[in-house]
Amino acid sequence: MMGLLVQYLQSLYRGAVDGWDRFWFTGIDPAGLGLIRILTGWMLVYTHLVWTLGLNRFLGPDSMLPPEYVQEFHGSSWAWSYLFWIESLFLLKITHGLALLIFLAFMVGFKTRWTGILSFLITVAYINRTVHGLFGLDQINGFLAFYLAIGPSGAAYSVDRWLKSRKSNAHMVIQKSVGANVSTRLIQLHMCIVYLFAALGKLQGETWWTGEALWGALANYEYQTIDMTWTAEYPMLIDLLTHITVLWEISYCVLIWPKLTRPLVLFMAIPLHLGIAFAMGMITFGFIMLIANLAFVSPWLIRRFVESGLLRRPTENQPVDKNISLASDS
């Protein structure tokens, strides 16, 4: 009897170890990571370009919040930013312009390893300096930049790969990458945490239980892009959508992993975040959340879509392995 128990525990242990190794260390096509890099890079360029409209008022010598106040607010030396020590508006414009160029280089995948690291550091520097003008978009930008920087995000759909293929004068075979899988897994797990805590936070409020919370958001003129007050005539619809939102968020971290339920979860993310984007005026936040959800889309599907719609189709010498599983497969 004891021998059977030992064998069972050993088998359970080996299964857990094998599952852990498959989850983290199975090589995948880096196409998904490449597409996320392009879209995240575009968001970094756009969101930091917006700061240009009020560069002096937000970051310059005449800033609404001087650096010393921001540093006091943080109360920690870990919240660093090179912007704390730039006192000249001219120098600020130069460094800001260089930051935009680095973001642009990262977006197109030029010297991706270096521009990825620099993009993350610059993003953190702006976040720590502009505490008075942040919202969820900036946090998502930050963690995506980090995970893209530590992974081979330039291995697909990048200037780096194009230059490498020109140098070899041949079509490069798609190579599975363990690094791409690790970065993708980190994005996936982070998204699960984001949605779980968003749902738990909502459940602290009474209106999410009564079904009235969504109406409060739609009727807030401060955030309106589209007038949605007509929904007041359909209280049952508001109630239903409020509860569906919480249920979807709290179940995301469970239902996103099985192949059977993953397509439904991802499909529901589209109207939810487009609704946030266009009905509540948070367009960039809605888009960046959809971009992050691409981590759960099969790299094979992404490559098939991109290369059939925007680039060339894979050649016979550049096969796409359909067995390159969904990045979320365990």
What integer pLDDT is reported at residue 184 of this predicted model? 97
Instruction: Say what the pLDDT of residue 27 is.
Output: 94
pLDDT tens figures, 32-48: 999 999 999 999 999 99
pLDDT at 168 over 80: no
Give the integer Cα–Cα distance in Å for 166 and 176: 20
Judged by average pLDDT, the poorest of 28-42, 223-237, 243-257, 264-278 is 223-237
**Residue in 151, 166, 193, 190 with CA at minimum distance from that of residue 32:** 151
How many CB atoms are closer than 10 A to CB 98?
Answer: 12
Q: 65 pLDDT band (50/70/90 cuts)? A: confident
- Give the per-residue pLDDT at 172: 64
Residue 328 has pLDDT above 70, yes or no: no
pLDDT band at 288 (very low <50, low <70, confident <90, very high): very high
Confidence (pLDDT) at 220: 76
For residues 21 and 185, is the Cβ–Cβ distance under 8 A? no
Residue 329 confidence (pLDDT) above 80: no
Task: Please state the rounded mean pLDDT for residues 201-226.
Answer: 84
**Reduced to 3 states, what is the DSSP secondary structure of residue 28?**
strand
User: Which residues make beta-bridge pairs with 28?
Assistant: 177
For 23, 132, 216, 258, the CA distances from 224, given in Å and listed in that order, are 42, 21, 11, 36
Kindly state the average pLDDT of the residues 176-187: 96
State how far the Cα of 147 lies from the Cα of 151, in Å rounded to an integer. 6
**Distance between CA atoms of 318 and 31, rounded to whole angstroms?**
13
The model carries a pTM of 0.88
3-class DSSP state for residue 124? Answer: helix
- Percentage with pLDDT > 70 across the chain: 92
Q: Which of 137, 101, 134, 136 is nearest to 119 (CA)?
A: 101
| pLDDT at 5 (0 to 100) | 84
